[in-house]
Each structure stands twice: as C-alpha cells, then as structure tokens.
Amino acid sequence: MTRPSRRKKDYSYTGPNDLPGHWQGTLDVKQAGVKLRLAVNIAKMPDGKFSATMISLDQGGAEIPANTVQYFPPNVRLEWGAIGGSFNGKLENGKISGAWRQGGGALPLVLERDRTQ
C-alpha cells in the first residue's frame, strides 16, 4: 500500500468546529509523575476521508499514522493500532475534549488547535 503524499493532505479549516488542522494536548500521567505533550495532525484527503498522525513531542518519536479516523460531528475517534492507543472526544468550541486509552488505562486529554502551523 502506498502512503498518500503530504501535498494531497488538506489541513485547512474554516471554523472552530472543523476537524482538520494541527492540534496539541498534554497527557498528565500522574502515577508516573510525567506530562507528555502530543501533537495530532488531522487532514482531509481528496476522497473526503480523514487522515491523522500523532507525535509525542517529549519522547522524540516519529509521526505515527492513525489506522482509524472517524468523525460523526461532534464525536471524534482516533486509533493507533501500532501502539494500542485510542482517543475518543467531542469537538466543541474549537477544542476536542475526551479520553486517551492505552494499556488498559484512560487519561483525560484536551486537544487545542496549534495556531503556529
């Protein structure tokens, strides 16, 4: 399977409740005393479907492509099979608020649009 080229990905948005864009949030892993900043990039593809990647800014990793991106306004579901993680949230007032699930645990996560992109 070929990977879609970056230039076909559309990150533009026209309002606060449009899903495409560059988003950032922080996972507060209290039991480990760690805060992890995440960058989530969501693009609209030419066929109308969505594509997403995630980067853990504090762990220095590479972009991880999501294998599932579902958007039934206002509900958002993103899944990363490679790391066994998922995010379920609601897009309201320009923020996606929900829960990150990985390894049997759940943590609150709020993604806000990164306006520097």
Give the C-alpha separation, 54 to 78, whole Å. Answer: 10
Q: Is the pLDDT of residue 19 over 60?
A: yes
Region 19-44: mean pLDDT is 92
Q: Is the pLDDT reported for residue 2 higher than 80?
A: no
- Sole residue written with tokens 């076909």: 8
Determine how many CB atoms are found less than 10 A away from the CB of residue 76: 23
Q: What is the pTM of this model?
A: 0.89
